[in-house]
Structure 1
Amino acid sequence: MWTLASMEPVDAGFLSVLPPLVALVLAFITKEVITSILSGVFVGTIIYTVMKRLPIYNAISIVISLLVEKMSEEMEMVIFITLLGGLIIIMKNSGGARAYGIWAIQRVKTRIGTEFSAMFMSFIFFVDDYFNCLTTSTVLKPLARSNAVSMEKLAFIIHAIANNICLLVPFSSWAAAIASNIKDAGISGGLSVFIRCIPYNFYPVLIIFFVFLLIVFNVDYGSMRHYEELCKLRNGNRIHRIDSIITPRSEDEKEGSVWDLIVPILLLIGFTFLFMLCTGGYFTNPKLSILEAFMEGDAVLSLSMATLSTLLCCVLLLVPRKQMTFNGFVESVKEGAQYMAPTIIILAVAWTMSGVTNELLGTGEYLGMLITKFKIPVALLPTVFFLLVAVTAFALGNAWCCFGIFIPIASKICMITAPNSLIPTLAAVMGGAVFGDQASLLSETTILLVSTMECTTQSHFKTQLPYLLTVFVVSLVSYVVCGFTQNNLLASWVVGLAMMLIGMVAMYFVYPHLKTSQKDMYYDNEDETKKGLRDDQAIDDDFLKSLMYNDSLI
């Protein structure tokens, strides 16, 4: 049985970058992430066995041994993700999300109100991006149809908030994964490091600020403008308002309450904070302050205990009120575990890749040597990693894989060349990963979102890409400023926010003078367009009615 402790690392030189490079190229070609990363892992173990002069068949046993060892080390993380999946499905099946959707539809009557509702609801579901995309898109889709907001615009808003809010809240599944990767990189206090990275997370904050400005100024450009104009044209031909068809599913069936959604989220936050204090020693060491104990807490263990405690409270909240039967509750938890299975598999292969590149082949040390050899300015480290990770995440379509691969590499390089740049560089890794994940056609959140939004992957990709690139460039400038001002946060934020605000104000004044075609992009002439609008109206009405009476859609 091979273990990392029994395997001495080798100095693979330029070959040490081959495994992630193989994974990157295969992801581009095959558009399949798990197999691509596993292929890179096998390439890495083959390099290791050849350089150690071991029989080549040992590469297979090393892969299996590494996978088992990494899964054993990260079992707390696996348990947390499994429990979180159960909680997500519980909140979905209890009717709380549907209740919030109906509440919003009855009260929100404008486009700007719809867009802000999407933004606000995405903030509420910060615990996980999958849950955020699935629930928010399903709940708010009828509201968007009612108020002439295109599916592409709604998808962009949800996607922009769902992915990025997870990097700004220490109570999310992303925070736990990143804290775990930071710990694996040999840095103590994973969650405290994550929290220290938040002020340097320019891209997540700027994309949220960009969405806010986009809604306030009511301007769109690129393909999004065309889809928005088309949606307004379609909406003008509709007869029925969605609020006229909102009725309970049946007289003897109770509707879920908005509190069935809010209470579990509040419980999760409260329990997480409590258990962070417990694991940080606050109740056993009176000399520790609350902040010190929170920083020293075990993030993954605390989140696991908090999620389990929230699930137990949900039993008491839902079963006595007959919102769910006990058997239904158990089945929902099982469904949630299955729902999170792809995430666990991706994490497992990413952890294995991290073990191969950083603990067997010395990829981090090699890249650190290159940076020193070619005299890449230390000030450019965050910028370089932001670009590198963004390209990799775009190719792989998964931010979590990039966390597992690049956080250990960035940590080792910074500790060798520039310890003071560690926090900004780790933040740049996070920002680049979330950009690539959001922009990629291969991203699971992209696929999940478009499947519930009834828009195509291509339309979502081409409408959101100009917006994402705008924020990407501004974030890149902020990292350059940050590096050359010795991590001056004030200067970095002033430059980034000023660029964003000036650009949006300029767009606001230019917007009325931009020409747009009223021709439907799906039809070739005016008669076909009118027929398409009539068909769209019939489809919309049938869909809205089915949404109100069909549980499977909610």
Structure 2
Amino acid sequence: MEFGILSLLPPVLAIVLALVTRNVIPALFAGVWLGATMVHDWNPFMGLYASFSEFILPNLGDEWSATVLLYCGLFGVLIAFMQKSGGAHAIAHAITRRVKSDRGAQGSTMLFGIIIFFEDYFNALTVGSVMRSVTDKMRVSREKLAYIVDSTSAPICLLGPVSTWVVFVMGLIGAQFVELGISRSEYLTYLSTIPFNFYSILALVLVAIVIYKRWDFGPMAEAEYRARTTGKLLRDGAQPSSDSSMVDVEMTEKTPKKRNMIVPLVVLLGLIPPLFLWTGGFPENDLVTAVGESDGSKSILIAAFAAILVSMAMGLQQKLFNFKEAMSLVVKGFKSMVLVYIILTLAWSIGSVTSALGTAAFIVNLAEQTTSPALIPVLIFLVGCIISYTTGTSYGTFAIMIPIAMPLAYAMDISMALCIAAVLSGGIFGDHCSPISDTTILSSAGSSSDHIDHVNTQMPFALTAGFSGIIAFLIAGITNSWLISLLVGALIMISLTYVFYRRWGKEVPAGN
């Protein structure tokens, strides 16, 4: 049956409901149900039955899906052990001992945020709460601390080699490869998106520039001037968030050791390359062939499991917890990823629904007739930004947009990495601007900043990097060169930042 323009109804319904309810789970399920109803001659009862029997359960039950869900859970477990062992706190204290100025305090906060590249929630709460005493001492405003924390947590999770975000995105990419009949490593495909993830890169660069040059402008300049000259880290009447209720796993009371975080991360990252070669048939296959044929999901799963064993053994040896408490951490780690499980499953399902309805084919045909291929990455970025801003979730944006962007890129012969990166960048850009974003809220909480003040002071910087990202995606769509696009985007961003600083900035005295 040909549905034509009606094939857009399920993803459009998912988008609209996500915007209205600000919750992506019921929105995605409604999209699955509507698509299943359409497939079964618009019978809503058969649609409900088919939602599970033909779409949700088949996507949930195969070996590949189970592998993805399992390594998502293992990452939750690894983070629970790292949080309990206190290794991140030990690293932060080692960094801050060298801090002598406000610039050093801010730079150390950014560095610590980059070090914790594997999970955004853990990043936002840990970096903000640990570095707060250091930035307070140097009279850095809480708004500035929250901005640095927020602008490093999510972007670095998609620029690092492995993280909870990476495994989530790999799950979405792999599902589309199955739908499109593509035999390619989802992990290597993800890695190829990193240089095209313009907003994430530019947001990090902007943080570094603002710290080093002190080019604060807009409300942030006022906040920094107030903090330096009066010592008021929050404006009068501000209501700082509290992060105490958001930490599920309490850190050990014993003196934490840096190796409690460093060693498990070295195990995790060190095992991935040899496991890639092994699952790819090396040495029977040559290096390039082995990497191309490797099983990325199983490689990361085994590496994460090994890192968990090492982290648990270190904690037991140091008597940070007993075996019963360790098993409790395992359960807490898996429970922390339940939301990811649900969104992934529904995202796979709505991808299957759109495939059955021919949604991708319709969009591709429409785009070929009406839109230049060079504009596709920009449009994907903008739509992703709107969805993320209004829903407050990057994960939900990725779940809705990747099943649309990848078939579009495949059919129109546009760089797959570029279109996926446009989704990722748009999701994070909207997330940084949204007052209902979970990472924005956690950044305020971890930094003990007034949430609305954080949103208002961060917005001008996010918009500056976002506009520069639009130009970068436009150039990438024309040239397909990430280097040229990134350089032009960076030059535009630096120029805008300087102009804004001269126009709306304020000379902020250096801290102690």
AA partner of residue 445 (structure 1): T
The question of 1:18 aligning with 2:9 is answered yes
Q: How much has 1:458 moved relative to structure 2?
A: 2.3
Q: 1:306 aligns with which of 303, 306, 318?
A: 303
Q: 1:294 aligns with which of 291, 294, 299?
A: 291
The question of 1:60 aligning with 2:48 is answered yes
Question: 1:98-497 residue pairs with structure 2 within 5 A?
Answer: 98-186=89-177, 187=182, 188-235=184-231, 254-283=254-283, 285=284, 287-289=285-287, 292-357=289-354, 359-374=355-370, 376-417=371-412, 419-485=413-479, 487-497=480-490
Give the Cα separation in 1 of the matches to 2:233 and 2:209: 29
Q: How much has 1:91 moved relative to structure 2?
A: 0.7
Task: Give the stretch that moved more between structures: 380-389 or 341-350.
Answer: 341-350
Aligned to 1:83: 74
Q: How much has 1:38 moved relative to structure 2?
A: 2.2
Work out whether residues 82 and 336 of structure 1, in 8 Å CA contact, stay in contact via their aligned partners in 2: yes
Give the Cα separation in 2 of the matches to 1:388 and 1:90: 37
CA deviation digits over 1:18-73, x for unaligned, max 9? 2232232223332223223223332332333335xxx4311111222322222223
Report sequence identity in percent.
30
Task: Give the stretch that moved more between structures: 99-108 or 143-152.
Answer: 99-108
AA partner of residue 458 (structure 2): Q
Give the Cα separation in 2 of the matches to 1:70 and 1:463: 42
CA deviation digits over 1:322-371, x for unaligned, max 9? 222222222222222222222222222222222222x2222211111111
Counterpart of 1:57 in 2: which secondary structure?
helix
Q: CA RMSD in A?
A: 2.5
Give the Cα separation in 2 of the matches to 1:394 and 1:425: 19
* Structure 1 runs (4+) greater than 4 angstroms displaced: 507-516
- Give the 3 Å change call, closer, same or farther, for CA 253–337 of structure 1 in structure 2: closer
Give the Cα separation in 1 of the matches to 2:129 and 2:271: 28
AA partner of residue 182 (structure 1): I
Q: How much has 1:268 moved relative to structure 2?
A: 1.1
- Give the 3 Å change call, closer, same or farther, for CA 221–331 of structure 1 in structure 2: same
Counterpart of 2:160 in 1: which secondary structure?
coil
Work out whether residues 347 and 401 of structure 1, in 8 Å CA contact, stay in contact via their aligned partners in 2: no
Q: How much has 1:480 moved relative to structure 2?
A: 1.3
Give the Cα separation in 1 of the matches to 2:170 and 2:96: 38
CA deviation digits over 1:126-180, x for unaligned, max 9? 1122222222222222222222222222222122122112222232222222233
AA partner of residue 465 (structure 1): M
Work out whether residues 179 and 191 of structure 1, in 8 Å CA contact, stay in contact via their aligned partners in 2: yes
Give the Cα separation in 2 of the matches to 1:215 and 1:192: 33
Work out whether residues 279 and 302 of structure 1, in 8 Å CA contact, stay in contact via their aligned partners in 2: yes
CA deviation digits over 1:399-448, x for unaligned, max 9? 2333333223222222222x143332222122112222333233322233
AA partner of residue 296 (structure 2): A
AA partner of residue 218 (structure 2): G
Give the Cα separation in 1 of the matches to 2:508 and 2:446: 31
Counterpart of 1:185 in 2: which secondary structure?
helix
Give the Cα separation in 2 of the matches to 1:253 and 1:385: 47
Q: Which has the larger radius of gyration?
A: 1
Give the Cα separation in 2 of the matches to 1:277 and 1:196: 18
Counterpart of 1:50 in 2: which secondary structure?
coil
Give the Cα separation in 2 of the matches to 1:406 and 1:449: 25
TM-score calculated relative to the size of structure 2: 0.88
Give the Cα separation in 1 of the matches to 2:232 and 2:147: 23
Work out whether residues 271 and 310 of structure 1, in 8 Å CA contact, stay in contact via their aligned partners in 2: no
CA deviation digits over 1:498-526, x for unaligned, max 9? 1122233444555666899xxxxxxxxxx
- Give the 3 Å change call, closer, same or farther, for CA 253–191 of structure 1 in structure 2: closer
Give the Cα separation in 2 of the matches to 1:311 and 1:356: 36
AA partner of residue 228 (structure 1): E
AA partner of residue 271 (structure 2): F
Give the Cα separation in 1 of the matches to 2:223 and 2:133: 17
Higher relative contact order (CA 8 A, sep 6+): 2
AA partner of residue 433 (structure 2): A
- Report the number of matched residues: 484
Give the Cα separation in 1 of the matches to 2:340 and 2:272: 22
TM-score calculated relative to the size of structure 1: 0.81
AA partner of residue 424 (structure 1): L
Give the Cα separation in 1 of the matches to 2:281 and 2:61: 25
Give the Cα separation in 1 of the matches to 2:148 and 2:233: 25
- Give the 3 Å change call, closer, same or farther, for CA 325–457 of structure 1 in structure 2: same
Work out whether residues 142 and 448 of structure 2, in 8 Å CA contact, stay in contact via their aligned partners in 1: yes
AA partner of residue 372 (structure 1): E
Q: How much has 1:234 moved relative to structure 2?
A: 5.0
AA partner of residue 406 (structure 2): S
Q: How much has 1:265 moved relative to structure 2?
A: 1.4
* Uncovered stretches (5+) of structure 2, i.e. residues with no partner: 235-251
